[in-house]
Chains A and B, each alone.
Chain A
Amino acid sequence: MTEQIGAAETLADRMERVGYLVDDGLATALFLAVRLGQPVLLEGEPGVGKTTAAKALAGALDTALIRLQCYEGLTASEALYEWNYQRQLLAIRLAESHGDRLRDADLFTAEFLSDRPILQAIRFTGPRPPVLLIDEIDRADDEFEALLFEFLGESAVSIPEIGTFTAARRPIVVLTSNRSRELHDALRRRCLYHWIEFPSAARVAQILRRAVPAAATALIASAADFVGQVRALDLDKPPGLAEAIDWVSALSMLGVTELTRPDATRTLAALAKTADDRDAVTAAFGALDGPDRARA
């Protein structure tokens, strides 16, 4: 499938078919990641669709998505590989019961290896290379970044007891970061880079139409406009696309076809995630166009 994608537009069309609208920049970034076999680092405000982009890429290429969610304290044994100790102990006991002699080499073979996401991506045997999503890399420790260098640079993982596993076909690697800390230059150097901007109100409406097909057109237009205005307020957590989709889904589920202030107020929890933000949005209702214009 990846060989058939000749241009960024083709990839954009395919992603649109699986329900993800992509702009020129992101389409070029993902296309180059597929064609050059180089990891791509996606950065942007929370909720602009970085993780979903990777999922949609896997859907568009009709291949598997392997996901590694990063967190503080993530170690090699959780990300790369781990020995299956229980099986090793069983093998020892079994050998003892048969009176066999075991050597080191018998116990540290690929048979006793538990693949974790990165090794899974390297040893993947499907018809097409998988998409490996390394999500929120900024949450992991900086030592973990150093652990990734070999994989990101050469698509390989070295296991001291066995040797180096190199991917026959380079997996398509998508890294995402929310910039909660600065990533190391060495990691950036190994990746293509794309900064995802929050889309315009018209594009948000287009995306909402895809994501919540049951919602009324008038509701989607006013909700997209309203979310744009709320983002301009002084909030702790400005709503991203995910929040906008949740909000419109909630409104649609309640049978709302046109945005009104009472409806907006009772579903505000989907949009404003802290008490302060809820107060700020409620206080600004008068100044905002959406619910005030269509007051119930």
Chain B
Amino acid sequence: MPASQQGTSGAGPVPPLLRGVDRAAFAAGLTRRLRDRGVAVDLSAAGTFARALAAHPPATRTELYWTARIALVRRQPDLAAFDALFAALFAGAGLGTDPPARRRPLPPTGALAAVPAPTAPAQPGTGLPWATLPAVVGSAERTAPDGPAVPQRLPTAAAGWADVPFEALDDEQVALLDDWLLAGLPRLPTRRTRRLAIRRRGNRAALRETMARSRRTGWEPIELVRTRPVRRPRRLLLLCDVSRSMQAEATAYLHLGRAFVRAADAEVFAFATGLTRLTPVLRRRSAADAMAQATAAVGDRFGGTRIATNLRALLDSRHGDLLRGAIVLIGSDGWDSCPATELAAQLARVRRRAYRLLWINPRAAVPGFQPRVASMAAALPYCDRMLPGDTFTALRRVIDAVADCDVPVRRPVTTTA
């Protein structure tokens, strides 16, 4: 029971609570205060509230609570803000029995808590950056060539840096590679839906369309219209490890996540000791803004890693259904402070829901790499593929591997373990 209801239950019938109150002004005032608290309330909701007050005049505070809540709040996450506002406004208020109280103005809205503005992105050298170290400065001075110069074909800046390990890239280069990654997403896996669309090479006859077109031919159905199922992008879900051991790779992986979010409406979560959903902030057009907001959103970055705990949190949350039929990518080196058996149990649950599970490991690129970490070894049986993720070229290969998930044959785990 919400806090605002307490104290009203069991009260006998009392006169209508808002006798003599201008319903429109009351609705508008409450709406404005709700909006000040960050709840999206539109004009039509205020209108509905005013009509609801007329249809069902509240006699108790509980009735006022339910009428206001049902008419004004449209989302479950907004309920907490509404409850807080309602308690602040009406707890202890005696509007119905204390007419002079109605003449007293309500407290100014400036006293309410404001939504905090996002903090400015960290400048290089002024704190912990997301991933990159200061740029490597070339030492060799170029001398002016003598005589006629032959133009030399060089790779574009992005392609040139694509093979450089993440540690050696600066912010500017990473931002450039962001566009390069996005350009590598023309082909992503799709799934068949139950929706049908008219296609020349369809395999079913569309009766409705055929009939409609037969109007042109004297009601003789000459042209047979065909349909076939529509295909949609398959859901992608990236879990990015932002713990200390992944400091160099975290930003690059988030750029990959941003590319997926923008191109395929993917879901991205960051995890270290806790789980943070980054999908809304990564959807921003500017890569710098997206990364700055992601930095602000993840409070526990560069801390310890609890992969199994975070996987369980994801599975149990309301986002757990996002895994169903999805291609799940986990970007992590497998260093986990949770027991390996727990990780195996959670990955088994993930595997049952997901369509494919791909693991991106920055250490896997090293020749002779073997997954000796207990958690990594425990995770491998549940992964469809393990892919190296140490450079942007490797991330391009990850994109190709995601695209290959359309191939119906399941591949064995590519590992030497």
Contact = CB atoms under 8 A, between A and B. Distances in A.
Contacts of B69: 25, 194
Nearest to A28: B66
Nearest to A179: B318
A180 interface: yes
Contacts, number: 91
Interface stretch (B42-50, B150-158, B361-369): B42-50
Question: 3 closest pairs, A vs B, by CB?
Answer: A73-B194, A28-B66, A73-B195
A7 B13 CA distance: 13
Interface string B40-59: 10101100100110011000
Interface residues of A, number: 43
Interface string B302-321: 00000000001001101011
A29 B195 contact: no
Contacts of A25: 66, 69-70
Interface stretch (A32-40, A124-132, A208-216, A255-263): A32-40
Which of B44, B56, B79 has its CB near the most chain A CB atoms (within 10 A)?
B56
9 contacts: A24-B63, A25-B70, A73-B194, A89-B211, A185-B40, A188-B75, A189-B44, A236-B315, A276-B349
Contacts of B75: 188, 193
Interface in A1-56: 7-8, 24-25, 28-29, 31-32, 35-36, 38, 40-41, 43
Interface string B109-146: 00000000000000000000000000000000000000
A72 interface: yes
B63 A28 contact: yes
B197 to A, nearest CB: 10
A73 B44 CA distance: 30
A148 to B, nearest CB: 16
Interface in A61-114: 71-73, 75, 77, 82-83, 85, 88-89, 92, 102, 104, 107
A141 interface: yes
B384 to A, nearest CB: 21
A83 B208 contact: yes
B73 A35 contact: no
B81 interface: no
Contacts of B74: 41, 185, 188-189, 191, 193
A24 B321 contact: no
A195 B315 contact: no
Interface of A: 7-8, 24-25, 28-29, 31-32, 35-36, 38, 40-41, 43, 71-73, 75, 77, 82-83, 85, 88-89, 92, 102, 104, 107, 141, 179-180, 185, 188-195, 234, 236, 276
B interface, by DSSP: helix, strand, loop or mixed?
helix
A89 B62 CA distance: 60
Nearest to A38: B48
B416 interface: no
Contacts of A276: 349
B104 interface: no
B70 A29 contact: yes
Contact of A32 (B67, B194, B230, B349): B67
A179 B77 CA distance: 12
Contacts of B90: none
B215 interface: yes
A190 B318 CA distance: 24
A32 B208 contact: no
B251 to A, nearest CB: 28
A294 to B, nearest CB: 29
B55 A32 contact: yes
Nearest to A238: B316
A35 B55 contact: yes
Nearest to B77: A195
Contact of A7 (B5, B56, B71): B56
Contacts of A71: 194
A71 B291 CA distance: 37
B76 interface: yes
A247 B199 CA distance: 49
Contacts of B42: 189
Contacts of A24: 5, 62-63, 66
A234 B312 contact: yes
A27 to B, nearest CB: 8
B206 to A, nearest CB: 10
Contacts of A188: 74-75
A234 B71 CA distance: 34
Contacts of B207: 85
B214 to A, nearest CB: 9
A276 B312 CA distance: 13
A41 B69 CA distance: 13
A193 B73 contact: yes
Interface string B16-60: 000000000000000000000000101011001001100110000
A85 B194 CA distance: 22
Contacts of A92: 219
A40 B70 CA distance: 9
B73 A36 contact: no
B308 to A, nearest CB: 12
B56 A141 contact: no
Given A28-B63, A185-B74, 13 more contacts: A7-B56, A8-B56, A24-B62, A25-B69, A29-B66, A40-B70, A85-B208, A141-B193, A179-B76, A179-B318, A189-B44, A192-B48, A192-B71
